[in-house]
Amino acid sequence: MKFVKDRFNYLFNSTKGLILVAIAMVAIVTAIWGMLSGPMAEMGVREIVIKMLGMKIIQSEREGRIIILYHSIAMAIIAIETYMITGLLKMKEFLRMAVRVLITVGYIMTMLFGMGFAYFGHNWAFHGLYITGLSLIFFAGVLLCIALYPWQSEYYVSDKDYAHTKKGVDLERMAFFATAVTTVLSSLFGAVPGSFYGNGFETFLAENIIRYPEKTTMEYSVIGHLHIMLALIAVMLTLIIGRWLNFKGVWHKVAMPLMILGTIVLNLGVWGVVTPLEPVAHMIIYVGATPSMLAALFLLIWSWSKFAKEGTAHIAKPTFLQKLGAIVSDPLKFGPTWQMLFMNFTTSGIGIFMAIKLDEIFRVWPAREERIELTGHWHALSAIIATIILMYYGDMLGLKGKVRQLYGWGIIFLSDIALGAVTVFEMKRLFISEAEQQPLVNGLMYAIDFGLGMLLVLLAIVMIWRLTDLFKPKGRWTEEATHELAEEVMK
Whether 13 contacts 87, CB under 8 Å: no
Q: Which of 253, 437, 456, 486 binds another protein (CB under 8 A)?
A: 437
Which of the stretches 37-45, 92-100, 306-314, 453-461 binds another protein when contact is defined by CB under 8 A?
A: 37-45
Shortest Å distance, C-beta 113 to another protein = 24
Region of 38 on the Ramachandran plot (φ > 0 left; ψ -120 to 50 alpha; else beta) = left
CB of 438 or CB of 482, closer to another protein: 438
Shortest Å distance, C-beta 285 to another protein = 16
Whether 29 contacts 111, CB under 8 Å: yes
Which of the stretches 127-135, 312-320, 360-368, 390-398 binds another protein when contact is defined by CB under 8 A?
A: 360-368
Residue 50 binds another protein, judged by CB under 8 A:
no
Residue 433 binds another protein, judged by CB under 8 A:
yes
Shortest Å distance, C-beta 203 to another protein = 8
Residue 276 binds another protein, judged by CB under 8 A:
no
Q: Which of 97, 441, 464, 490 binds another protein (CB under 8 A)?
A: 441
CB of 41 or CB of 490, closer to another protein: 41
CB of 60 or CB of 153, closer to another protein: 60
Q: Which of 149, 141, 144, 145 is nearest to 106 (CA)?
A: 141
CB of 13 or CB of 203, closer to another protein: 203
Residue 364 binds another protein, judged by CB under 8 A:
yes
Measure Cα distances from 307 to 142, 270, 322 in Å.
37, 36, 11
Residue 202 binds another protein, judged by CB under 8 A:
yes
**DSSP readout, 84-142?**
HHHHHS---HHHHHHHHHHHHHHHHHHHHHHHHHHHS---HHHHHHHHHHHHHHHHHHH
What is the separation of C-alpha 286 from the centre of its chain, rounded to a whole number of angstroms? 21
Q: What is the dihedral of CA 447, 449, 450, 454, to 10 degrees?
A: 150
Q: Distance between CA 174 and CA 183 in Å, rounded?
A: 14
CB of 208 or CB of 468, closer to another protein: 208
CB of 32 or CB of 57, closer to another protein: 57
Shortest Å distance, C-beta 433 to another protein = 7
Residue 440 binds another protein, judged by CB under 8 A:
yes
Q: Which of 366, 460, 482, 490 binds another protein (CB under 8 A)?
A: 366
Shortest Å distance, C-beta 286 to another protein = 16
Q: Distance between CA 381 and CA 412 in Å, rounded?
A: 14
54 contact partners, CB below 8 Å, separation of at least 6 = 120
Q: Distance between CA 173 and CA 240 in Å, rounded?
A: 11
Residue 158 binds another protein, judged by CB under 8 A:
no
CB atoms under 10 Å from CB of 222, counted, come to 26
Shortest Å distance, C-beta 357 to another protein = 13
Q: Which of 413, 397, 386 is nearest to 466 (CA)?
A: 397
Q: Which of 1, 4, 59, 317 binds another protein (CB under 8 A)?
A: 59
Shortest Å distance, C-beta 368 to another protein = 5
Which of the stretches 59-67, 131-139, 215-223, 408-416 binds another protein when contact is defined by CB under 8 A?
A: 59-67
223: enclosing H helix or E strand? helix 217-244
Q: Distance between CA 266 and CA 269 in Å, rounded?
A: 5
Residue 490 binds another protein, judged by CB under 8 A:
no
Q: Distance between CA 100 and CA 97 in Å, rounded?
A: 5
> Residues in the site for another protein, rule: CB under 8 A?
37, 41-42, 59-60, 62-63, 202-203, 208, 211-214, 279, 358-359, 363-368, 433-444, 446
